[in-house]
Chain A
Amino acid sequence: MPEPSFLFGQFLSGLTASMFLFVTAVGLSLIFGVLRVLNFAHGSLYMLGAYLAWQIMAWLGPGPEHFWPAALGAAVVVAIVGAAIERVMFRHLYDREELYQLLFTYALVLVIADIVKILWGTQQLSVSRPVSLSGGTTIFGTLVPHYNIFIIMLGPAIAFGLWLLLHRSRAGRVIRAAVLDREMLGALGANVGWLYTGMFAVGAFLAGLGGALVTPVKTIVPGMDVEVIVEVFIIVVIGGLGSLWGTFLGAIIFGQVLSFGILLMPRFSIFSVFALMAIILIVRPWGLLGKRLTR
């Protein structure tokens, strides 16, 4: 039996990974919930967020104190990019088969990956941790960096904030109505077009934020887009596409399975999360907390 403090450390590292991914995953889930589109380019927006955070920090001058404006700025720029993509191109595909929508988002993956390479090259980039969170605290004999604690708290905060937005605001009511029946909503006079743009922007913002926040702990490299989309894809499928708390649960399960899976069977931990996803798709295709689609 391993040391309890070691297990706790493992648990915390899994939780940190979960919450990093949750920020990005919940954006994918929201977009799917409203638009019924699986956006492969979500990982690309995440990568864009990471590179933009680095770029903005480089512009603002040296020093880690610029991390927060850089992260937020990056997320906002990504949100604008997302809204533009939706407005200019994506909306013309809504009445087409899902194959065309899927392939369009894949085309974006290809295009964005190369644009990033053209703009920032292929070498690894890195960002230092913000000063305010550079230290660490020892909890149960494990040194936990403050930045990780911040991320662990940020995840639930974002989830709760989105819950408030969806369930306690007028905009949220309209969004939930759009999930149920978009045609009826349009007939009742809501501006469904801008609603979709808005949702896409929020989803893109979360992707960009997820990418920006991960920069202090992960190097920024081309290829991080394809890597992360697979991970958030697993999370949203486990939790339930379109479900806010489902995505939260999915992220926690993903983090823990991966973090303890490495202890139990180092070679096959990645396999175990895929297997978990497949089992859930077989037993409950709409995910643990997702709703069954009637249409």
Chain B
Amino acid sequence: MRRIPWTLLVFAAAFAIPWLGSRFYTFIATDVAILALFALSLNLLLGYTGLVSFGHAAYFGIGAYTSAIFMKTLGLPFWLGFPAAGVAAGLFALVFGCFCVRLTKIYFAMLTLAFAQIVWAICFKWNAVTGGEQGMPNVPYPDLDWIGAIPGLDGFRVGDRFYFLTLVLVALAIVALRRIVHSPFGRVLAVIRENPERAEFIGIDVRRYQLAAFAVAGVFAGLAGALFGIFNRGVFPDFAYWTKSAEVLIMTILGGMGHFWGPAVGAAALTILNLQITAYTQYWPLILGTILIVLLFAFPGGLVGTSVDLFRRVRRGRDAGRP
């Protein structure tokens, strides 16, 4: 059987969304793309290195604030603010990570949470730089005129143009993440996840690899945050709050952390579900909580993990009759 290039198909389909002409679809697609990157960055820690970070929103928030400060306060262009967001988030992840990777299991989770709360507290109170409780509204859109100059892409609204930019940047980031997890470096991370003691015995500097993974995950979370700040038309302290960290964990688990695309699927499922359900009821958290409980008890592999299992079982059943 020839392999179907699913990733390319999905990308092409996503790229075609603005032609549907609905502002709403573009809006959802932008949201999903950014959150997918955020969740995928977390999964580098969760699924690939086996580190439970309960403070990943910190790096999302740092990225968002960095790009907002660059673009709004300093008036610098997006192509400076965007990479700066990744660099800043990565640096903070490196510093915080130094302390976090010294701890194991639940203490690691708690320290990541503690650092995230510190970031939140700073964003919440440092009015002069972060706008405090009010956040930083009206983060400007990057200059998107050049997208209109590309043949075939003229005549789109600014939201659609930003979507094209987001989609391409997210796709590039995902390609980079995928290369990282399939590189020798990524393989070492998997060894650490499976058995840290053993990894230590065969001469791997476990903490250094964990720290590297933590910093890389921070970079990508920061990039996602930068895009989200612009998409959201403002940056707010909530971006770094612990409930946001829980949200991205839920996306990752919902999609399935055992598969590369799991978190992206989870981000899409959760975002679309949220929009569908909030149209009927204000009790979205109740439904999300219930979904999460069912998931944890019945489908710990998440959407992707469960469907892959199912698919394999069906195929095995079909092949069983043959020699």
| A residues lining the B interface (CB < 8 Å) | 36, 38, 40, 89, 92-93, 96-100, 102-104, 106-111, 113-115, 117-118, 226, 230, 233, 237, 267-268, 270-271, 274-275, 277-278, 281-282, 285-286, 293
- Known contacts A100-B296, A102-B52, A271-B125; A281 and B246 CB within 8 A of each other: no
Partner of A278 from B111, B249, B296 at Cβ < 8 Å:
B111
CB pair B117–A274 under 8 Å, yes or no, is yes
CB pair B283–A114 under 8 Å, yes or no, is yes
CB pair A102–B54 under 8 Å, yes or no, is yes
Shortest beta-carbon distance from B148 to chain A in Å? 42
B6 located at the interface, meaning its Cβ lies under 8 Å from any Cβ of chain A in the complex: no
Q: In whole angstroms, how far apart are the Cα atoms of A202 and B286 in the complex? A: 26
Q: In whole angstroms, how far apart are the Cα atoms of A104 and B294 in the complex? A: 10
Q: In whole angstroms, how far apart are the Cα atoms of A180 and B159 in the complex? A: 58
Partner of B286 from A89, A111, A270, A275 at Cβ < 8 Å:
A111
A278: B residues at CB distance < 8 A: 99, 111, 114-115, 118
Closest to A115 in B: B286
B250: A residues at CB distance < 8 A: 103, 106
B293 located at the interface, meaning its Cβ lies under 8 Å from any Cβ of chain A in the complex: yes
B249: A residues at CB distance < 8 A: 99, 103, 106
Find residues 267-295 in chain B having any chain A CB closer than 8 Å to their own CB.
Answer: 283, 285-286, 288-290, 292-293
B122: A residues at CB distance < 8 A: 271
Q: In whole angstroms, how far apart are the Cα atoms of A111 and B249 in the complex? A: 17
CB pair A118–B106 under 8 Å, yes or no, is no
Shortest beta-carbon distance from A289 to chain B in Å? 16
CB pair A271–B121 under 8 Å, yes or no, is yes
Q: In whole angstroms, how far apart are the Cα atoms of A281 and B115 in the complex? A: 10
CB pair B285–A111 under 8 Å, yes or no, is yes
CB pair A108–B289 under 8 Å, yes or no, is yes
Closest to B293 in A: A107
| A-B contact list, 9 entries, CB within 8 Å | A38-B109, A98-B52, A98-B109, A99-B52, A106-B249, A111-B286, A274-B121, A285-B107, A285-B111
Q: In whole angstroms, how far apart are the Cα atoms of A226 and B296 in the complex? A: 22
A275: B residues at CB distance < 8 A: 118
**Chain B positions 108 through 138: 1 when the CB is less than 8 Å from some CB of chain A, otherwise 0:** 0111011101100110110100000000000
Q: In whole angstroms, how far apart are the Cα atoms of A115 and B46 in the complex? A: 31
B312 located at the interface, meaning its Cβ lies under 8 Å from any Cβ of chain A in the complex: no
CB pair B107–A93 under 8 Å, yes or no, is no
Q: In whole angstroms, how far apart are the Cα atoms of A233 and B116 in the complex? A: 13
A38: B residues at CB distance < 8 A: 106, 109-110
Shortest beta-carbon distance from B255 to chain A in Å? 14
Find residues 119-169 in chain B having any chain A CB closer than 8 Å to their own CB.
Answer: 121-122, 124-125, 127
Q: Is the interface of A mostly helix, strand, loop or mixed?
A: helix
- Known contacts A96-B300, A285-B103; A104 and B121 CB within 8 A of each other: no
CB pair B292–A226 under 8 Å, yes or no, is no
CB pair A104–B111 under 8 Å, yes or no, is no
CB pair A110–B292 under 8 Å, yes or no, is yes
- Known contacts A38-B106, A109-B289, A282-B99; A103 and B297 CB within 8 A of each other: no
Q: In whole angstroms, how far apart are the Cα atoms of A110 and B125 in the complex? A: 26
Most interface-central of A93, A96, A277 (chain B CB within 10 A):
A277
Q: In whole angstroms, how far apart are the Cα atoms of A271 and B246 in the complex? A: 21
Closest to B300 in A: A100
Q: In whole angstroms, how far apart are the Cα atoms of A36 and B110 in the complex? A: 13
B105: A residues at CB distance < 8 A: 98
Shortest beta-carbon distance from A181 to chain B in Å? 17
Q: In whole angstroms, how far apart are the Cα atoms of A89 and B294 in the complex? A: 11
Q: In whole angstroms, how far apart are the Cα atoms of A103 and B127 in the complex? A: 33
Partner of A104 from B99, B114, B243, B296 at Cβ < 8 Å:
B296
Q: In whole angstroms, how far apart are the Cα atoms of A98 and B50 in the complex? A: 11
Q: In whole angstroms, how far apart are the Cα atoms of A93 and B297 in the complex? A: 8
B107: A residues at CB distance < 8 A: 281, 285-286, 293
CB pair A271–B118 under 8 Å, yes or no, is yes
- Known contacts A103-B249, A275-B118; A281 and B103 CB within 8 A of each other: yes
Give me the 10 closest cross-chain CB pairs, A-B, nearest first. A110-B289, A114-B286, A111-B289, A107-B292, A110-B285, A107-B289, A271-B121, A274-B118, A281-B111, A99-B52
B242 located at the interface, meaning its Cβ lies under 8 Å from any Cβ of chain A in the complex: yes
Q: In whole angstroms, how far apart are the Cα atoms of A282 and B98 in the complex? A: 10
Q: In whole angstroms, how far apart are the Cα atoms of A73 and B114 in the complex? A: 34
- Known contacts A237-B114, A281-B114; A104 and B125 CB within 8 A of each other: no
B283: A residues at CB distance < 8 A: 114, 117-118
A226: B residues at CB distance < 8 A: 243
Most interface-central of B114, B124, B286 (chain A CB within 10 A):
B114
Closest to B246 in A: A106
CB pair B285–A113 under 8 Å, yes or no, is yes
B121: A residues at CB distance < 8 A: 268, 270-271, 274
Closest to A281 in B: B111
Shortest beta-carbon distance from B298 to chain A in Å? 11
CB pair B253–A103 under 8 Å, yes or no, is yes
CB pair A270–B114 under 8 Å, yes or no, is no
Q: In whole angstroms, how far apart are the Cα atoms of A142 and B286 in the complex? A: 45
CB pair A268–B125 under 8 Å, yes or no, is yes
Shortest beta-carbon distance from A168 to chain B in Å? 29
Q: In whole angstroms, how far apart are the Cα atoms of A99 and B302 in the complex? A: 14
A40: B residues at CB distance < 8 A: 246
Most interface-central of A108, A111, A230, A281 (chain B CB within 10 A):
A281
Shortest beta-carbon distance from A240 to chain B in Å? 11
